[in-house]
Amino acid sequence: MSARDRETAEALVRLAASLDGAVLGLGTAAVAVASWVKYLAVSGQLRLVASAATASIGDARSLLRGDGNEPRIAAVRGYVRTQGSFLRAPFSSEAGVVVKHTQMCLFTEWRGIFGWTFDLHALLFRSWKEQIVTSFRAVPFVLASTELGNSTGVVHINVDEVDYQPLPLTTVFHKLIPLETTPYTLFQTIIGNGYPIALLDEEKILPIGKKITAIGLCRAKNAESVEITSCPEIPFFLSELTKDEMQAQLASRARILFWGSIVLGTLSVCLVGHAIYRGWKRIKLRREARQAQQMFEDAEDAIREDNSSDDDDDDVGDGQLCVVCLRKRRKAAFIPCGHLVCCCKCALRMEREVEPLCPMCRQDIRYMIRIYDS
Ligand SMILES: [Zn+2]
Ligand SMILES: [Zn+2]
Q: pLDDT at position 61, please?
A: 76
User: If we measure between CA atoms, which residue out of 308, 307, 305, 296 comes closest to residue 349?
Assistant: 296
Output the CA 336–ligand 1 centroid distance in Å: 20
Q: How many CA atoms lie within 13 A of 218 on its CB side?
A: 26
Question: 368 alpha carbon to ligand 1 midpoint, in Å?
Answer: 14
User: Interior CA angle at 56 toward 136 and 164, to 5°?
Assistant: 25
| Ligand that lies nearest to the alpha carbon of residue 344, given by its number in the listed order | 1
User: Taken in order 267, 271, 276, 281, is the CA torsion positive or negative?
Assistant: positive
The residue among 123, 129, 128 whose CA lies nearest residue 107 is 129
DSSP class of residue 222? S
Q: How far apart are CA 233 and CA 250, in angstroms?
A: 13
pLDDT at 232: 85
Ligand nearest to the CA of 332: 1
First and final C-alpha spacing in the chain? 65
Q: Pick the ligand that lies closest to the CA of residue 346.
A: 1
The ligand with the least distance to the CA atom of 321 is: 1
CATH says 316-373 is which class?
A: alpha beta
CB 57 within 8 A of CB 74: no
Q: Where are the beta strands (DSSP E) in the chain?
A: 53-54, 72-82, 87-88, 95-107, 132-138, 141-144, 154-158, 170-178, 196-207, 211-220, 226-229, 238-239, 332-335, 340-342, 367-370
Sign of the Cα pseudo-torsion (266, 269, 270, 272, in order): positive
Q: Rounded to the nearest whole angstrom, what is the distance from the C-alpha of residue 252 to the centroid of ligand 2?
A: 60
Contacts of 276 (CB under 8 A, 6+ apart): 22
Q: Which ligand is nearest to the CA of 364?
A: 2
Per-residue pLDDT of the chain (374 residues; tens, 9 = 90+): 567 777 777 887 777 666 677 888 888 999 999 999 999 999 999 999 998 888 888 777 777 776 667 788 888 888 888 887 888 888 888 888 888 888 887 776 555 455 554 455 555 454 445 567 778 888 888 888 877 766 677 888 887 777 678 888 888 888 888 877 777 767 766 665 566 677 888 888 988 888 899 898 888 877 777 888 888 888 888 888 888 999 999 999 999 999 999 999 999 999 999 989 988 998 998 888 888 878 877 777 666 665 545 554 556 777 788 888 888 888 889 988 999 999 888 888 887 777 888 988 998 888 888 888 76
How many residues are present in the chain? 374
Helices H / strands E in the chain, number of each = 7, 15
Residue 135 and residue 149 in contact, taking contact as beta carbons nearer than 8 Å: no
Q: What is the pLDDT of residue 280?
A: 93
What is the 279 CA–ligand 2 centroid distance (Å)? 26
pLDDT of residue 127: 42
Distance 313 CA to ligand 2 centre (A): 25
Nearest ligand to residue 368 Cα: 2
pLDDT of residue 67: 67
For the full predicted model, state whether its pTM sits above 0.85. Answer: no
What pLDDT does residue 108 have?
Answer: 64
- Going from N- to C-terminal start, the domains of the chain cover 18-51+242-310, 53-111+118-241, 316-373
pLDDT of residue 248: 94
Which ligand sits closest to the CA of 323? 1
Spatial contact of 237 and 216, defined as CB atoms under 8 Å apart? yes
Q: Which ligand is nearest to the CA of 347?
A: 1
Parallel/antiparallel/unpaired status of strands 332-335 and 367-370: antiparallel
**Using omega within 30 degrees of 0 as the cis cutoff, is the peptide bond preceding 235 cis?**
no
301 Cα to the center of ligand 2, angstroms: 25
Measure the CA–CA gap between 269 and 254, rounded to whole angstroms. 22
Q: What pLDDT does residue 33 have?
A: 95
How many other β-carbons are positioned within 10 Å of the β-carbon of residue 230? 22
Q: How far is the CA of 340 from the centre of ligand 1 (A)?
A: 11
Tell me the CA–centroid distance for residue 346 and ligand 1, in Å: 4
Residue 46's pLDDT is 93
Query: How many Å apart are CA 230 and CA 236, to the nearest integer?
Result: 8
